[in-house]
Amino acid sequence: MEGNVPIETLHPLSRWAGANFNGFPHVHYGVSGTAMLFDALRQSGRRTVVLPAFICHSLSDMALCAGKRVVHIDVDRNALLMNRDQLEQCLAEHGDSESLLLVDHPFGYPCSAIAEIRAKHPDLLIVEDCVRALGSQINGEPVGRSGDWILLSLYKTIPGNDHGAIMLTRSRYEIRSGPAPRATLSQRLSTLGPARWVHDRLKRLRPIPPASGRDLEPSPWAPLYGVPNRLVLKRFWRELDSLEEGVARRCQAAREIQTGLEDIKTIRFVRPGTACRTSGYFLSFTVTGPGLRDRLLAAMHRKGLFLFRTWQAVPAYFRCFRDTFPFGSSESTFLAQHICHVPVIRFLGLAHRERLVQELRKFFQQV
């Protein structure tokens, strides 16, 4: 292990990975999960990368930079997951042994078909993107166990962290490394109540950026190497230490928010599949009506109720990916314009949760 991370800090994480993901003996730590995927992908020998059309475009950029043919499969707007019929047609055309499939468990909503895909396509190299799905389960088992590579994030769901990833693989790959970023003052203060209060008051004064346009050129992508710093690792370890308790609290809070908004016809909640448990970090819903989602976000932002619209710039918006959608991209572009995510961890308190429901109801009553 290279970099400035003490090995004794990594030992409990490696033990946790071995206990929860038996069969993945190779554990890699990095600043960027996309960079680790880039290194492994170039060594894999696979020619084609198949991934969802509703996803962060940097993953598509990375696959293109690795010299791979990129194919995007459109998704189901109600589940956020790839269209299974389209996926099967794609795999029949490109061949399992030549392809790598990236399966996302988007915003903690598990892809319940992953085990079936694995059984039907044993020669396919499968990557399970679990970066927002820590704690998600399918039939009582943690997501990630059906693939060949697993990607976990140390920051996308951990308050205060701003970098870091873990990648587990069944086979050995050479993953480049580097020094750990220094913990900044902002990173250290980010989880302190008074500092968070000041930050939120200042944040609500700044307008949210406008929605992304189309016909874009992506910023030049380059891998970022390094290892997580000690503070990031400690915060992630604390999250693991109370993971089940945290999932239960978040899922209960999400259910209460959803119950309070269930009768609003303008929104439609994403629901997990049968026998699936979400991680509870996000409660996702789509908003009907042109431009209404962004009006909602702006109104809530001014009140200090910060919701997300990830991903608003999907691969279909970029020129370099125009010919990578064999079945179109209508569902992913719909989600880019209409989806909204509640970061549930911000609404664990009853008063804060009730205020969110009240303000959302008020907004929809006025439109």
Q: 304-348, pLDDT tens digit by residue?
A: 999 999 999 999 999 999 999 999 999 999 999 999 999 999 999
Quick check: do 7-239 and 243-312+320-366 share a fold? no
All structural domains of the chain with their residue ranges: 7-239, 243-312+320-366
At 73 the pLDDT is: 98
Mean pLDDT over 184-198 rounds to 91
At 10 the pLDDT is: 72
CB 332 within 8 A of CB 53: yes
> d(Cα 362, Cα 300) in Å, to the nearest integer?
11
- Phi then psi for residue 71, to 5 deg, are -130, 125
Mean pLDDT over 141-155 rounds to 97
Q: 242-256, pLDDT tens digit by residue?
A: 999 999 999 999 999
Residue 2 has pLDDT above 50, yes or no: no
At 213 the pLDDT is: 87
Residue with tokens 């009140």: 303
Mean pLDDT over 226-255 rounds to 96
CB 332 within 8 A of CB 51: no
Residue 11 has pLDDT above 80, yes or no: no
Q: Which CATH architecture has domain 7-239?
A: 3-Layer(aba) Sandwich (3.40)
Percentage of residues in the chain with pLDDT exceeding 70? 98
> d(Cα 159, Cα 147) in Å, to the nearest integer?
27
At 3 the pLDDT is: 37
Between strands 48-52 and 69-73, the pairing is parallel
- Taking CA atoms, 105 is separated from 66, 129, 130, 338, in Å, by 23, 6, 6, 19
At 9 the pLDDT is: 63
Longest CA span, the chain: 57
Bigger pLDDT: 209 vs 71:
71
Tell how far CA 3 is from the center of its chain: 26
Rounded CA Rg of the chain:
20
Two structure tokens written together for 292: 């209404």
Confidence of residue 285 (pLDDT cuts 50, 70, 90): very high
CATH number of 243-312+320-366: 3.90.1150.10
At 5 the pLDDT is: 56
Confidence of residue 83 (pLDDT cuts 50, 70, 90): very high
Is residue 311 reached through a cis peptide bond, with omega within 30 degrees of 0 on the bond before it? Answer: yes
Mean pLDDT over 211-233 rounds to 91
CB 314 within 8 A of CB 219: no
Residue 8 has pLDDT above 80, yes or no: no
> d(Cα 180, Cα 163) in Å, to the nearest integer?
10
Question: What is the spatial order of strands in the sheet that 149-153 belongs to?
Answer: 26-30, 165-169, 149-153, 125-129, 99-104, 48-52, 69-73
Confidence of residue 15 (pLDDT cuts 50, 70, 90): confident
